[in-house]
Amino acid sequence: MKFTHEHTDGKARACLLETGRGVIHTPSFMPVGTIGTVKAMSPDELKEMGAEIILCNTYHLYLRPGHEIIKSLGGIHTFMNWDRPVLTDSGGFQVYSLSALRKIEDDGVHFKSHLDGSMHFLGPKEAMEIQQALGSDIAMVLDDCTPYPSTHEYAFTSLYRTVRWAEQCKELQREGQALFGIVQGGLFEDLRRKSAEELIRIGFDGYAAGGLSVGEPKDDMHRMISFTAPLLPEDKPRYLMGIGDLGDVLKAVETGFDMFDCVMPTRNARNGTLFTSRGRISIKREEFKADPGPLDPECQCYTCLNFSRGYLRHLFLSKEILSMRLNTIHNLFFYLQFFENMRKSIQEGNFTEFGTRWKPILT
C-alpha cells in the first residue's frame, strides 16, 4: 500500500492511497456495507457514484454467514461482487455496542451473539483470522473501545490492553493485507498521546482514532479529534472511525484526518432524512405533498434528476422499497460529492472557504 500527499491546505490533506484493488482519493468516505452489502445499493451503483472503498463489519460477517463460508465462496470481494478495496473493522466495537453480554479479559472478549444468544470469543488471533478469511484490503487491530464515561485508571488499563492486542495482531499480519492501529485513551490527552506513541513504536500501515462519538459531549469529541490528529505520522493515512456527521468531518479534515465511515447517509435515507445543499430535510413532511421540485436542485444524482419531492414523499409514506433505494442513492451521492468537492477545495487552497460555506448548512 502506497500513500502519497498531493496537496495540503493548512493541515487538511489531499492524498492518494494506492492498494492492489485501486486508488483511494482522500479525504475519503467509506459507505458502510455492514453484512456484505451497502443496504439498498448494488455494487455497480456504488461505483457509478464514485465509491472507492467500502467498510464491512467483521462482527456481523463472523456471526452470519460465518467467515469460513465467505472464504469458501472466494472471499468478501467475490462473495459480494465488489472488486474495489474493502476495509474490515476488527469486531471490537460491535461487541462493545451490540452484544448484550460481554466479558473483557486480558486475552480477548467473551460475548453473546445479538442474533441467537450463543457465546463466542474474540481475541487478537481470532480477529486477524476472521479478517484474513474475509480477505479485506485493510484490516483493523482488535481494540478495547473505552466507554464513556471512564475513569483515568480504567482508560489506562483499557489502552494497554489495546496496545498488547495491537502487538499480537501485528505479529499475525499477512502480506497483501494492510493493518491499521487504533488509538484509544478516552478523553484523556496523556493517554491518547501514550497510545499513539505505543502504536507508532509497533508500526502500522495506517492509524485510526477510536473510542469517539460514544456518548461524550461534542466539544470533548472535537477536542480529542484535534488533539489526536497531530500525534499520528504524517506519512500514513489517518482514519477517524465511525464519525460521519459532515460538520464533524469538516473539523476532522481541518486537523488532518483522511478517512471516514458512517452509517448516517444510508440509515437516514431509509428513515426519510435526506441531506441537501440547503440542509437536512424530512421527506415525510406535509409541505412536500404536492411539491413538483427535485429533492435537491443542485444535485445531479439519479433521484434528483428524475423524481419530485411529492413522489418521494408518497413512496416513503407508502413504505415502498423504491423509497429506500432512491433515498439511499441520493444521500450517498450527496456524501461522495461533498467529499470530492472538499478534496478539490484542498487542492485549490480553498478549504477554509469551503468550510465557511458549508458550516451554516450543516449545523
The mark string for 175-214 relative to Zn ion (x by CB under 5 A, - otherwise) is ----------------------------------------
C-alpha cell at 294: 427535485
Task: Sort 35 into a burial class: Cβ within 10 Å, 0-12 / 13-18 / 19+.
Answer: middle
CB closer to Zn ion, 313 vs 330: 330
Q: How far is the CB of 33 from Zn ion (least distance, A)?
A: 21
Q: How far is the CB of 326 from Zn ion (least distance, A)?
A: 9
CB closer to Zn ion, 202 vs 281: 281
Q: How far is the CB of 303 from Zn ion (least distance, A)?
A: 5
Specify whether the CB–CB gap between 258 and 239 falls below 8 A. yes
Element (H, E) at 263: none
Q: Which of residues 285-344 bind Zn ion (CB under 5 A)?
A: 299, 301, 303-304, 330
Active-site residue, 205 included: no
Q: How many helices (H) and strands (E) does the chain have?
A: 15, 16
Q: Which residue intervals of 135-209 are DSSP H helices?
A: 152-172, 189-202
**What's the one-letter identity of residue 27?**
P
274 makes contact with Zn ion (CB under 5 A):
no
Torsion angle, alpha carbons of 278, 38, 99, 102, to 10: -110
C-alpha cell at 233: 505520522
The mark string for 97-136 relative to Zn ion (x by CB under 5 A, - otherwise) is ----------------------------------------
Active-site residue, 261 included: yes
Q: Of the listed 137, 144, 248, 261, which one is catalytic?
A: 261
CB closer to Zn ion, 309 vs 330: 330
Specify whether the CB–CB gap between 51 and 339 falls below 8 A. no
CB closer to Zn ion, 263 vs 281: 281
Residue positions counted in the chain: 363
Active site residues: 89, 261
Which residues in this chain contact Zn ion in the complex, by CB under 5 A?
299, 301, 303-304, 330
